[in-house]
Amino acid sequence: MTQAATRIPTRTRTLRVPHAYSSVPRTRRTIAEDLRGRDVPAVVVDEAELVVSELLGNAVRHASALPDGTVRVHWQVKGGVVELDVTSQSS
């Protein structure tokens, strides 16, 4: 007997935010609202807020903006796991 693989949908979202410290709290709120709307557990939402704050703050502090003056913030939820990615220009 063989088992069929269960496909777990991946839900992604991407933002371009200004390369500025003021982007950090707005991005935190946006991600938290999005994750709550996807019924992600509160403890995971809290952790995602902390992680994106650190990643985005570091991008603003230590790297340059992308050519359009922004930083890209991408996240996805797959099987209850949240993956965050912040992309800026290398200094």
pLDDT score for 79: 81
pLDDT tens-place string over residues 26-57: 999 999 999 999 999 999 999 999 999 999 99
- Average pLDDT over the chain reads 90
Task: Give the whole-angstrom CA distance, residue 42 versus residue 4.
Answer: 31
Task: Give the whole-angstrom CA distance, residue 86 versus residue 75.
Answer: 9
pLDDT score for 1: 42
Dihedral pair phi/psi, residue 53, rounded to 5°: -60, -45
pLDDT score for 2: 44
Task: Give the whole-angstrom CA distance, residue 56 versus residue 8.
Answer: 28
Percent of the chain with pLDDT over 90: 81
Its pTM stands at 0.84
